[in-house]
Structures are given as structure tokens and as C-alpha cells.
Amino acid sequence: MRRRDRFVFCAEAIYESQAENSEIKGHYLNAAAGTCEEMIKRAVFARELGVPNVMHDYLTGGFTANTTLAHYCRDNGLLLHIHRAMHAVIDRPKNHGMHFRVLAKALHMSGADHIHSGTVVGKLEGEHRARSIFFTQD
């Protein structure tokens, strides 16, 4: 499914779901692209569909692209959600990494409205807990 078709499909699903139960629904349409111009085109299309949020992968797109998209979103009533794809490249190494809190502050300063920060320990950290353990009640 092509991106424009996917955007339309998601917007229709949002509106259909809202009509069924009167609850506000949302979905982050991914505006990340190879150029700032293409990102803005994607954000414009999302706005034309009436979707209130767009998403950007800040590491793959870069901080300049993030700020460019943030300015467009702010001027046009869209919420900018920042996804943390590939963040482990920066904040995972224990001896030379950068803590995600620092990245989050920089992203807020560059215009992010909402940031996907992930779990406290990271999804690939720690031990796997046993599953399917059931206890009986006395």
C-alpha cells in the first residue's frame, strides 16, 4: 500500500471508529521522508485529511528536519510526535552514550510536542520474566 493510500486508509479508520462510539481517536501518520520538502508535503496531506498529528523519526531525519517540520506543524495546528527509531545507537552504549533525557530536552527545544521515550530500562534490557505462571488462591 502506498503512503498516500495508507494515510487515507488510516484517516478513514479514525473517522469510522469515532462515529461508532463517539470517542476521539488518533493515529500518528509518519511524515518522515528523505527531504524536508517531502516531509512538509506529507504533513500538508495529513492536514488536508483532517488528521491532527504527524510523526517524525528524529534520528533518521535529523534535527534540522525536525525543526522545519515543527515550524510547519505549529503554524498549521498539527501536533508533532517524535519517534525514537534508532535511538539506541546514541543512548545505549554505557561508556560513551547520551542519556535519552538529554535528547528529549533537545527535541522539545527543536519543537516536538510529544516524544516517544520508551520504557525505563529499554525493551532489549534486563531478563525475560517467566510467562504463563498461574497461582491458585487459598
One-letter amino acid of 14: I
Q: What is the DSSP string of 84-111?
A: -TTTHHHH--TTT---HHHHHHHHHHTT
Q: How many CB atoms lie within 10 A of CB 65?
A: 23
49-88 pLDDT tens trace: 999 999 998 888 888 899 999 999 999 999 999 987 766 6
24-60 pLDDT tens trace: 888 899 999 989 999 999 999 999 999 999 999 888 8
Span 104-112, mean pLDDT?
Answer: 86
**Can you give the pTM of this predicted structure?**
0.77
Instruction: Report the distance separating Cα 55 and Cα 112, nearest Å.
Output: 10
Q: What is the mean pLDDT of the chain?
A: 83
Instruction: Report the distance separating Cα 64 and Cα 26, nearest Å.
Output: 26
* Domains detected in the chain: 3-115 (3.20.20.110)
